[in-house]
Amino acid sequence: MGAALSEEIVYRHAIEGLFLRSVGKRLTPELKDRLRAIGLDLDVKLPHHTPRRVFAEALGITARYLHPEVDAQEGYRRLGTGIITGLEHTLLGKALVSLWPIFGPDRVLSRMQESFATVNNYLKTELITHGRADHTIKVSECNGNPGYLMGIIEAGLMKAGAKNVRVEPFDFNGHACSYRVRWDP
């Protein structure tokens, strides 16, 4: 049965990318049990979509479990950074990431912002360019913490060749967040 049009969902490839490729071997039986308890069973074939609520809760559980030594935002950021690393472990992802330095950070940020919409049916973004290597990206949903997308943006830009990347979240209201994104031109 398909998801109702109003249901906020995360697509299967996003769940696979985070948990099976990025978290990968760190996905212990204990962590799997915690995720199963909230409705994300990684030991069965994943459904085509997962409710946003389950995904958001799974992010929080995973960030705390894998990174108990840091604050929540840093734990989420590390999960986001890991998504880019996990992407490189796929044939298509490796080819794509190898092109990012050719495209350059400004273009990669623009494409990344567009790519956010391919992982779920609810995230809306707006990219505002203030100048070369100086942007604001506004997102409608951060799934509980701005650190996750912060990590994705940061790692993606570094792979694109940006130096001294600074991704600073602001105006986080529990859902929506804006990020000031800068690097040395």
pLDDT at 146 over 70: yes
Please write the tens of the pLDDT for every residue from 52-111.
999 999 999 999 999 999 999 999 999 999 999 888 888 888 899 999 999 999 999 999
User: For 149-166, what is each residue's pLDDT tens digit?
Assistant: 999 999 999 999 999 999
What's the mean pLDDT when you consider all of the chain?
A: 94
Q: At what angle do helices 72-87 and 147-159 cross, to 10 degrees?
A: 40
pLDDT, residue 77, reads 98
Predicted confidence at residue 154, as pLDDT, reads 97
Residue 28, SS3?
coil
Closest CA to 120 of 7, 1, 2: 7
What's residue 3's pLDDT?
52
Claim: this prediction has a pTM higher than 0.95? no
**Could you give the C-alpha distances from 178 to 122, 138, 153, in angstroms and in order?**
16, 4, 12
Tokens of 98: 């190898």
Q: Is the pLDDT of residue 11 over 80?
A: yes
pLDDT of residue 127: 96
| pLDDT for 91 | 84
For residue 1, what pLDDT is reported?
43
